[in-house]
Structure 1
Amino acid sequence: MIRFALKCPADHGFESWFQSGAAFDSLKSAGHVACPFCGDTAVEKTLMAPTVRPARNAGVAQPHLSAPASDAERALAELRRKVEENSEYVGPDFVAEARRIHDGDAPERAIYGEARWDEAKKLLEDGVPVAPLPFLPQRKTN
């Protein structure tokens, strides 16, 4: 795994983890790397100081989790918290589940997940009320 410092054309800086440099390049070229603040996919890598782990006998390294640094980051973190608390994550099944709910084939409830832009546009054209989130869902991993 590798962590990259990234920046969008609007000068929003953020970091993200990738399996490798090649994985970043592949995801970026497919339009899957987006700014969490504005959604722009024209992100670029920026300079970043490497993280150096201390020797094994130097003690346990503490993870560096940072609190939101700006009002915008705090608002985005609060929105994410509310969405995750009050909605069901359906992941890549979002399009199918949104249609089932709209058609009355599934119980009415708030959901969020993942959809390609063309799929979301088709949902809107068909009268299914959806809206993009200004952040990517956190993937459920081990």
Structure 2
Amino acid sequence: MKVLNLRCAHEHRFEGWFASDEDFESQATRGLVGCPACGDTAIAKLPSAPRLNVSGLKEEGAPTDRPAAAQAAALQAVQQLMARTEDVGERFPEEARRIHYGEAEARGIRGRATAEDAQALREEGIEVVALPVPAALKGPVQ
């Protein structure tokens, strides 16, 4: 098994595990390797060094890998949001209106809306936020 350091076009860094370099190239060429943060399939392989166990050598208070920590925190926040909201799919604009006007139970919902639908909701005083959900969080990961 080969562990590769990868980066998408949006500068998100992550690891990928492949049987070989050729396996990575094959999957990447077919668009099967996607960024876990944004789903981008324009993936580049980064130079990597052999793994060394230096955890005991780290000085107390030394800085951590901030970009990776921020990415992990963002993914965790999205996971929590998804766990606490109901997915209403394409019915999002209609369901948001029903909740806003008291025709449906008040609850947290998520779903899909066009930019025009989202703007129309905002003009009606309904707060909406666009949140891209990484493909890895949309379904089971294999």
Q: TM-score, normalised by structure 1?
A: 0.52
Partner amino acid, structure 2, of 1:111: I
Please give the root-mean-square deviation of Cα atoms over the aligned residues, in Å. Answer: 4.0
Partner of 2:12: 12
Distance 1:123 1:75, change over 3 A: same
Letter in 1 for 2:107: R
Q: Runs (4+) of structure 1 moved beyond 6 Å?
A: none
User: What letter corresponds to residue 93 of structure 1 in structure 2?
Assistant: R
The 2-side partners of 1:70 and 1:135 are apart by 17
Picking from 119, 122, 125, the partner of 1:121 is 119
1:71 is aligned to 2:73: no
Identity of aligned residues (%): 31
- Return the structure number with greater relative CO, CA threshold 8 A, min gap 6: 2
What TM-score, normalized to structure 2?
A: 0.52
Query: What is the deviation of 1:100?
Result: 0.9
Relative to structure 1, is the Cα distance of residues 80 and 122 closer, same or farther in structure 2, using a 3 angstrom cutoff?
same
Deviation at 1:124, TM superposition (A): 0.7
Q: Where does structure 2 lack aligned partners over 5 or more consecutive residues?
A: 1-6, 16-26, 46-66
The DSSP-based 3-state class of the residue aligned with 2:118 is helix
Cα displacement (A) at 1:46: 3.4
